[in-house]
Structure 1
Amino acid sequence: MKKHRRLRNIGIIAHVDAGKTTTTERILYYTGNIHTLGNIDDGNTVTDSDHQEASRGITISSSSVSANWNYNEKTYQINIIDTPGHIDFSIEVERSLRVLDGAVALFCASSGVEPQSETVWSQSDKYNIPKICFINKMDRIGADYFKVVSDIEVEFNVSTLPLQIPIGEGDDFEGVIDLLKEKALYWNSDNHGNTWETKDIPDHLKPLADKWRTILIETISNFDETIMLKYLSNDIISTDILNEAIREITLQQKAVPILCGSAYKNIGVQPVLDAVINYLPSPEDIAYIEGINRLSNEKERIRCTREAQLTAFVFKVITDKYFGKLAMVRLYSGHVNVGSTILNSRTNLKNRVSRILKIHADKHTELNEAQSGDIVALIGLKDVKTGDALSQVNMPFSLENIEVLDPVISLAIEPKSKNDEKHFGEALAKILAEDPSLQVAFDKQTGQTLLQGMGELHLEVRLERLRSDFGIQLNKGNPKVSYRELLTQDVEHTEVFKKQTGGTGHFAQISFILGPRRDQEKGLEFVSEIKGGVIPKEFIPNVKKGFLEAMSSGVLAGYPLESMRVILIDGKIHDEDSSALDFETVARNGFKKAAVLAKPELLEPVMNAEISCPEDYLGNVTSDVSKRRGVITAIKENGIKRIVSAEVPLIETFGYISALRTLTSGRGSVTLQLLKYRKVPERILDQIGC
């Protein structure tokens, strides 16, 4: 248990370009894991070890690293996940947060709370993850610490606990004032910030420091009665007591501690590590894990201890050229040894663990055992996928899975060389196993393989992986939008399937009402009103299956249906000729005929576009958004920049990043996130081919 008390599993989350990878690099340097500082611009950071990450200057895959930090003469192990900031790779953030205990949320001191900041914060809230904030890039022009603190409170509706205030901002940024210890900290530039000096607070900053220390203690008092009584009695409140109170407040997610600095300038990173140890949870702070006992099909809680039964979650699958398939897992309870036989609760297959690895970016350490709280890679698991739960043999236990959004864009792809055709399917299967947000479809009309994903960058990166890692050169088509179809009115229909083949025939008849769902939910709502056994109970699931399969290809333009409702009201069977397969077939046939009469409409994906640009270019940006059939919903000030929020059809955003750079002389940026599906205007239907 001592090991667990000195273990932290944390993620670093933020908007793209807030400094996640640079901050992680500094953490590794100050903890002694690396001896030379890497930088994004030089393409030599540890966590962006993939050549695409190095060349693009962004994080694509969540990367796991481990570091040891000495605090109060004790050594703590910190497992860190450096996650992507680009919205196309949000599945990487989602599955990382699923297994973490705490998070460090980074914000740029000049840009503040940005669109993707809100997305990752919301994702972390979904998994009830306690957070601390680090306002980075205090050395940037336009840095405004107090504005960012205010924005965090307003945008996320949270209370904040600023533990530091900056000494200067922008070019004048020198260090930070620790409000708990009431000291000024200055980092030494001659040794890359490895050491720092503690001095008295400068006289001109004492009033400001006193003001914010008072605010800090008053905020803590609002959540801690002991602190309140001491504060009202003017008693001395020790730093240790304040730290204990802040930890409880953070774990209960009543408020978020805030620190500041500049990772690039090597200022303020070590206090973040201290805060991780002080305020974020260890695995033992999570008392139990909840899931479904597969034997009883009932909810059950398992204590998160080494002595409990094994419960582990596969949050990522990696194909490695040396080890083959690696299953990245978080152990919530129990333990696993090399040679152990464990059960995959999804497949009900037994697997022998041949090796256990502690992953350090692109390096690893062999382990003999992993136990509750650990994040490791297991080798030897067959047919394993993201979201699988691993448990002890004869004790199957499943956990809540990861929600994966449907793809919104597709590309037709094929290998250039016939020699690559035999390897094409195998390579495609490997990258699909690694990325749940990536899908493949086969177009029956054209015979093309369609790669489907979350955006242009997402598909571009995965295609480059096929080329670089598997040596497959590809021909590709233009990106296409994944439209949806929707029925708009109810239709009653009777369908008969009857076929004689010389032997046993085929017969099935159903009467049903087909139309839109009333509850605004997605998928198929199937209601059976069959009475008197006119259709045997064992055939009704096959009717549902037939309609479900039919939804994958609508009657308007062959696109999937977003949702629909089917009420099965009557039917007939033949004593000798009817089979379950016949009722699947009659449902599919009936859908095709009835859906045409249900006035189907074509829906297009609409993106929430958050565009950042200097005020001088605002007119260019808003005019261009209008030309792209976009609707501007808000324009906000963010320092010297303006943030334009708009709803823009996905098809109109193809190539938009390049166009925006031209419009703003390279000073604009945009994040795009799927917002909703909306009816395609009549004038656009001809362009789509409907």
Structure 2
Amino acid sequence: MSSIKEEISKRRTFGIISHPDAGKTTLTEKLLLFGGAIKTAGAVKSNKITRHATSDWMEIEKQRGISVATSVMGFNYRDLRINLLDTPGHEDFAEDTYRTLTAVDSVILVIDSVKGVEKQTRKLMEVCRMRDTPVIVFINKLDREGQDPYDLLDEIETELDIQVKPLTWPIGMGKTFKGVYNLYKKNLLLFKGSQRKLSNDAISLTDLSDERLDAEVGETAANQLREDVDLVNGVYPEFEESDYLAGKLAPVFFGSAVNNFGVRELLDCFVEVAPKPKDRSTEIRVIEPSEDKFSGFVFKIHANMDPKHRNRIAFVRVCSGCFNRGSNYHHVRLDKSFRFSNATAFMAQEKETIDEAFPGDIVGLYDTGNLKIGDTLTEGEKGMFKGIPSFSPEMFKEVINLDAMKTKKLEKGLSQLMDEGVAQLFTYELGARKVVGTVGALQFEVIAHRLLQEYGASVRFAPLNLYKACWISSNDPKKLNAFIDSKQRYIARDKEGKLVFMAESKAWLQMVEDNFPDINFHEKSEF
């Protein structure tokens, strides 16, 4: 058996993030194709082909052509084990993406060459900034008439507050797109629009004054490339791996994912520079991946991955040691020991049972309801891993049960979907009204659809005039109780039973905060 250190050196765990429609799911597929994990690319529904994108497997995703749940896929490439987490691009599912970013060691950010940096891209980069996550940028859709490459790079630097270094450079764009020159490997890749074949015939060109360049792309394009490369080398910093690993410099690749173009260059550079699994902090100390004892945390829960079997799977990121199937592990929050005899690795919806997993790996554990997002599992140590917050939602609606006979099913469904972190549930102390809070409107549709399909419960969501749900605490229990008594109509509890103040407007919240200085109002549940 190989040592833990050897296994760690083979692991690369990363997330793919982007604004909706930038081509993230397509890029994910092409990476899997190059990794040999799938044989043919599935086209998304709009292409009138029945096979859907591999990483989109929930019914509603297939209908809408969007990713709403994070998919985990593992594949091998150049003797490395790559763990890829495809995240929802749709902003209504941002919270799932923020949590996923806690489980990866680096990210690939996909940007649409036509639209450039968009609102959601900025938000996602802020989360990467908080953790100094290393970022590689892939500028996609070069086969369309997009923005000027220099403008795109300027926009990335200004809007996302990160230095960039192009490692490939496009020759033309849209109708005049001829290919890319790889500045990193000094070779030329010519574009032959093909969605089916995996091209790998790069022409080695260490010297751009070589006449072969003119012969391949034409004199005008060749001269433009020579000018561009001189300018790029003069303007942008040298690519230093240490700056990339510190999250200060983002290497940039250009390509067209739908045409398999520029993807291999991205993957080859990624496996050379991307970080191995890193250390992680618990409340007690910093845990090194190479430690002997196993530890990991739950960053996502998914109910009913298999519609025939009503099961829940908790996604666990292994942080240290070796996870062994069938072993007993300590559940820190419950202070209890659990044995996990059923452990799986993922290839989107395909699952395989595994006997062991190493730092960087994502393990799926079948669970009957003991695990929650943020839970830590260890071989006995008591520290919880830090950094999986719940943010105050932005939209609130009351749950109206349309079938009183199905109340139990509704409660079970709501409980399980909230465990997944799809949305947050608040129950008023007075009258027990249930309110669901989400980041975006589409989530209400997904919840109603899944409650009906998976639990047989029909609901409608009634709009509520609420501004924010703030978690409350105080160092003085008497003052907290007095506050609760005076504001009972506005007090609810979240799923964990924590006290929440439901504020109806910004001005009113400000006034209440001023009137009750001893009460702390938190916009995150992590305090």
Same fold (TM over 0.5): yes
Matches within 5 A, 1:490-505: none
Q: After the TM superposition, which of the residue ranges 203-212 and 334-343 deviates more from structure 2?
A: 203-212
Distance change in 2, residues 1:546/1:365 (3 Å): farther
Q: Which runs of 5+ in 1 are unaligned?
A: 224-244, 294-299, 486-521, 528-539, 569-590, 592-673, 675-690
Matches within 5 A, 1:66-105: 66-70=74-78, 75-105=79-109
The equivalent of 1:391 in structure 2 is 378
The equivalent of 2:257 in structure 1 is 263
Q: Which amino acid aligns with 2:390?
A: V
**How far does residue 216 in structure 1 lie from its aligned partner after superposition?**
5.1
The equivalent of 1:441 in structure 2 is 427
DSSP-derived class of the 2:411 partner: helix
Cα distance in 2, alignment partners of residues 421 and 117 from structure 1:
40
CA contact (8 A) 1:63 1:83 kept: yes
**How far does residue 437 in structure 1 lie from its aligned partner after superposition?**
3.4
Instruction: Encode CA deviations 1:532-585: one digit per residue, 9 max, x unaligned.
Output: xxxxxxxx5354345357556459xx94356636478xxxxxxxxxxxxxxxxx
Q: Answer yes or no: is 1:138 the counterpart of 2:142.
A: yes
Instruction: Encode CA deviations 1:175-203: one digit per residue, 9 max, x unaligned.
Output: 21112333320255457241233234334
Return the match for 1:367 from 354, 361, 365: 354
The equivalent of 1:310 in structure 2 is 294
The equivalent of 2:213 in structure 1 is 201
Matches within 5 A, 1:317-328: 317-320=301-304, 321=306, 322=309, 324-328=311-315
Q: Answer yes or no: is 1:430 the counterpart of 2:446.
A: no
**Bigger RCO (CA 8 Å, 6+ sep):** 2
Q: Answer yes or no: is 1:417 the counterpart of 2:403.
A: yes
DSSP-derived class of the 1:201 partner: helix
DSSP-derived class of the 1:103 partner: strand
Matches within 5 A, 1:16-27: 16-27=20-31
CA contact (8 A) 1:407 1:439 kept: no
Matches within 5 A, 1:214-613: 214-215=230-231, 217=233, 246-283=240-277, 286=278, 288-293=279-284, 300-305=285-290, 307-320=291-304, 321=306, 322=309, 324-380=311-367, 382-393=369-380, 395-435=381-421, 437-442=423-428, 444=430, 448-474=433-459, 476-483=460-467, 526=474, 541-547=477-483, 553-554=489-490, 559-560=502-503, 561=509, 564=513, 566=516
The equivalent of 1:52 in structure 2 is 60
Q: Answer yes or no: is 1:128 the counterpart of 2:132.
A: yes
Cα distance in 2, alignment partners of residues 214 and 336 from structure 1:
50
DSSP-derived class of the 1:151 partner: helix
CA contact (8 A) 1:177 1:201 kept: no
CA contact (8 A) 1:187 1:193 kept: no
Cα distance in 1, alignment partners of residues 274 and 234 from structure 2:
21
Cα distance in 2, alignment partners of residues 169 and 346 from structure 1:
54
Cα distance in 2, alignment partners of residues 386 and 448 from structure 1:
24
**How far does residue 19 in structure 1 lie from its aligned partner after superposition?**
0.6
Distance change in 2, residues 1:442/1:525 (3 Å): closer
**How far does residue 323 in structure 1 lie from its aligned partner after superposition?**
6.8
Instruction: Encode CA deviations 1:18-50: one digit per residue, 9 max, x unaligned.
Output: 111111111222222222221222471111111
Q: Which amino acid aligns with 2:442?
A: L
Distance change in 2, residues 1:542/1:377 (3 Å): farther
Distance change in 2, residues 1:567/1:165 (3 Å): closer
**How far does residue 403 in structure 1 lie from its aligned partner after superposition?**
2.0
Distance change in 2, residues 1:3/1:526 (3 Å): closer
Cα distance in 2, alignment partners of residues 466 and 141 from structure 1:
43
CA contact (8 A) 1:411 1:479 kept: yes
Q: Which amino acid aligns with 2:110?
A: L
Cα distance in 1, alignment partners of residues 398 and 452 from structure 2:
16
* Larger strand proportion of the pair: 1
**How far does residue 54 in structure 1 lie from its aligned partner after superposition?**
1.2
Distance change in 2, residues 1:24/1:101 (3 Å): same
Q: Which amino acid aligns with 1:270?
A: R
Q: Which runs of 5+ in 2 are unaligned?
A: 204-211, 492-500, 504-508
CA contact (8 A) 1:69 1:78 kept: yes
Q: After the TM superposition, which of the residue ranges 259-268 and 211-220 deviates more from structure 2?
A: 211-220
The equivalent of 1:179 in structure 2 is 183
DSSP-derived class of the 2:343 partner: strand
CA contact (8 A) 1:137 1:143 kept: no
**How far does residue 455 in structure 1 lie from its aligned partner after superposition?**
2.4
CA contact (8 A) 1:355 1:380 kept: no
Instruction: Encode CA deviations 1:263-306: one digit per residue, 9 max, x unaligned.
Output: 112211111111211221111xx2x322223xxxxxx122211x
DSSP-derived class of the 2:259 partner: coil
Q: Which amino acid aligns with 1:291?
A: T
CA contact (8 A) 1:354 1:380 kept: no
DSSP-derived class of the 2:283 partner: strand
The equivalent of 1:596 in structure 2 is none
CA contact (8 A) 2:12 2:271 kept: yes
Cα distance in 2, alignment partners of residues 188 and 5 from structure 1:
36
Question: How many residues were matched structurally?
Answer: 481
Q: Which amino acid aligns with 2:413?
A: A
Cα distance in 2, alignment partners of residues 218 and 308 from structure 1:
47
CA contact (8 A) 2:400 2:461 kept: no
DSSP-derived class of the 1:68 partner: strand
TM-score, normalisation: structure 1: 0.65
Q: Answer yes or no: is 1:14 the counterpart of 2:18.
A: yes
Distance change in 2, residues 1:350/1:545 (3 Å): farther
Return the match for 2:40 from 36, 39, 53: 36
**How far does residue 258 in structure 1 lie from its aligned partner after superposition?**
0.4
Cα distance in 1, alignment partners of residues 314 and 485 from structure 2:
31
Cα distance in 2, alignment partners of residues 550 and 455 from structure 1:
31
Q: Which amino acid aligns with 1:204?
A: T
Q: Which amino acid aligns with 1:292?
A: E
CA contact (8 A) 1:187 1:266 kept: no
Return the match for 2:115 from 104, 111, 116: 111
**How far does residue 436 in structure 1 lie from its aligned partner after superposition?**
5.8
DSSP-derived class of the 1:292 partner: coil
**How far does residue 442 in structure 1 lie from its aligned partner after superposition?**
4.3
Q: After the TM superposition, which of the residue ranges 117-126 and 183-192 deviates more from structure 2?
A: 183-192
CA contact (8 A) 1:407 1:454 kept: yes
CA contact (8 A) 2:177 2:191 kept: no
Distance change in 2, residues 1:484/1:118 (3 Å): closer
Cα distance in 2, alignment partners of residues 421 and 255 from structure 1:
53
Distance change in 2, residues 1:148/1:463 (3 Å): same
Distance change in 2, residues 1:319/1:415 (3 Å): same
CA contact (8 A) 1:310 1:392 kept: yes
Q: Which amino acid aligns with 1:398?
A: M
